[in-house]
Amino acid sequence: MHSLELLFRRARLPLAMSSGFHPKIKMSLPSALALGVESFDEVLELEINESAQPVDPTTLLTDLNRCSVKGLDFYSARQLDKQETKAKLASSTFELFVPKELCSQTVNRVSAFLSADSVIAEKSNGKFVNVRTAINELRFSHETGQMTVEILAQNGSPEAGIRELLQALGLEKELFKSIFPKRIRCRLTEEILIQEK
């Protein structure tokens, strides 16, 4: 977050600041991940100072990439409509690799999971969630051990995540030991609405 603040200052963006003794840039990550989960696709919200001139999204994108550090790329930018309070995450797609010795049993468990109507898992806070209804797509390759899963964002609480999916597949103990999930795609509800048009 500190690196992002420095980047925004280099780009001289007219960003809104919080009040108080130590003002901070008003920014947020509406789809923040759990500690330890790598991500290659994030959504960042910035609030522009009300007294500043409107910022063109194309210009903003150019300025961000011009001032960014190697390996941090900004792919798109848009201004939220007045009726939108914030960007809404529709789904997250994760990729992970299952160790070879666990691939055979994982094939069967994935098959059973996909054929079930309901698969309940317990979250770390003791609440229970139906993981099956949260999974939009799940693919697994026995040959490579690669698993790709799209998890829908749920409006209610509690929400199912990658940890709960691994629990449902009997792989939770391997999380951050031999299985290291990474998010490769964030989809916003705005994208889906545009595609449907």
Residues 162, 104 within the same domain: yes
Residue 82 lies in a domain: no
**Per-residue model confidence (pLDDT) at position 141:** 97
Same domain, 112 and 179: yes
Looking at residue 194, what is its pLDDT?
A: 47
Does any domain span residue 53? yes
Q: Are 73 and 129 in contact (CB under 8 A)?
A: no
Helix (H, G, I), strand (E, B) or coil at 181: coil
Instruction: Report if residue 81 sits inside a domain.
Output: no
Asked if 125 and 186 sit in the same domain, the reply is: yes
Instruction: Please check whether residue 78 lies inside any domain of the structure.
Output: no
Residues 125 and 188 in one domain: yes
Same domain, 169 and 109: yes
Residue 136 tokens, joined: 């939009």
* pLDDT recorded at residue 195: 52
From 67, 99, 114, give the residue that closes a domain: 67
- Considering the domain architecture, whether residues 53 and 99 belong to the same structural domain is answered as no
How many whole angstroms separate alpha carbon 180 and alpha carbon 68? 27
CATH of the domain at 188: 3.30.70.100
Burial of 97 (0-12, 13-18, 19+ CB in 10 A): middle
What pLDDT is recorded for position 16?
87
**Distance in angstroms (rounded) separating the CA atoms of residues 110 and 138:** 8
- With CA atoms as reference, report the closest residue to 10 among 69, 53, 75, 78: 69
Report the domain count for the chain. 2
pLDDT tens sequence for the chain (197 residues):
888 888 998 998 888 888 888 888 888 887 878 888 999 999 988 888 887 788 889 999 999 999 998 989 999 998 887 777 777 889 999 999 999 999 999 999 999 999 999 999 999 889 999 999 999 999 999 999 999 999 998 766 678 999 999 999 999 999 999 999 999 999 988 765 545 54
Q: Any residues with CB less than 8 A from the CB of 88 and at least 6 apart, and which?
A: 30, 153, 188, 189, 190
Q: Which pLDDT score, from 0 to 100, does residue 191 have?
A: 63
Q: Is residue 138 part of a domain?
A: yes
Q: Do 49 and 98 belong to one domain?
A: no
Specify whether the CB–CB gap between 159 and 110 falls below 8 A.
no
Total residues found in the chain within this entry: 197
* Residue 50 confidence (pLDDT): 80
Closest CA to 17 of 6, 3, 2, 27: 27
Q: What's the pLDDT at 156?
A: 65
Cβ 5 vs Cβ 18: under 8 Å: no
Structural domain boundaries, residue 174: 89-196
